[in-house]
Chains A and B, each alone.
Chain A
Amino acid sequence: GDSVTQMEGPVTLSEEAFLTINCTYTATGYPSLFWYVQYPGEGLQLLLKATKADDKGSNKGFEATYRKETTSFHLEKGSVQVSDSAVYFCALPAGGYNKLIFGAGTRLAVHP
């Protein structure tokens, strides 16, 4: 069945460091791919998305490219800030109407 695998956290970085969070997926066809972010005590916020192969989603300095050859959708940011500390989830739609499958989440901690 369809699935999403994320790198385990936590990821701990210093401010202004480069961030990569790996996400690979197994899916039938070429579904849209999403990154959501969850700040402490809050719900999920859509960070970015890509709807077809080779698309690059971007938002707030974060980027992710839909790579069908490697079935990956890695999240990157060139210079992280303390305010980026959160849990990041990779997700894809699978199993019918509006059912999202999520990765386990990767916790990011950024220190000054």
Chain B
Amino acid sequence: KAGVTQTPRYLIKTRGQQVTLSCSPISGHRSVSWYQQTPGQGLQFLFEYFSETQRNKGNFPGRFSGRQFSNSRSEMNVSTLELGDSALYLCASSIAGSQGADTQYFGPGTRLTVL
């Protein structure tokens, strides 16, 4: 079974631009979560989607948004990019997305560099 895939793997943008990242979960998985990884802040939760609905959201500004499609694929969008948005963005999928014990499987990430 194929793992979580993320595209593109690398992106370079300039301040003020916007960017869209894509994530395809493991087949049969309906929950998709997004995380930001930076050297200073570590791994931080952005949001989670299940059946096209955002069920959970981390403490990020409204410039960060996402959506999920009927086939469970998900996209996240960052508008008006800032230098501090440079990070590795990781997507994770799980089968059903309960509140506690579901195991999340991560993709390889998208490395975003903002110049």
Contact = CB atoms under 8 A, between A and B. Distances in A.
Interface string B25-68: 00000010101000000110100101000011010000000000
A98 B42 CA distance: 17
Interface in A17-44: 31-32, 34, 36, 42-44
Interface residues of B, number: 29
A82 interface: no
B100 A104 contact: no
A31 B103 CA distance: 12
Contact of A44 (B50, B97, B102, B106): B106
Given A45-B106, A104-B42, A98 B101 contact: no
B101 A32 contact: yes
Q: Nearest 6 pairs between A and B by C-beta?
A: A44-B106, A102-B43, A97-B56, A97-B55, A96-B56, A43-B108
> Would you call the interface of chain B mostly helix, strand, loop, or mixed?
strand
Contacts of B99: 93, 96-97
B12 to A, nearest CB: 17
B104 interface: yes
Contacts of B101: 31-32, 51, 93
Contact of B42 (A42, A95, A105): A105
Given A93-B100, A98-B33, A46 B43 contact: no
Interface in A23-82: 31-32, 34, 36, 42-46, 49, 51
B103 A46 contact: yes
Contacts of B104: 46, 98, 100
14 contacts: A32-B100, A32-B103, A34-B103, A42-B109, A43-B90, A43-B107, A89-B43, A96-B55, A96-B56, A97-B98, A98-B56, A98-B92, A99-B56, A100-B43
A20 to B, nearest CB: 21
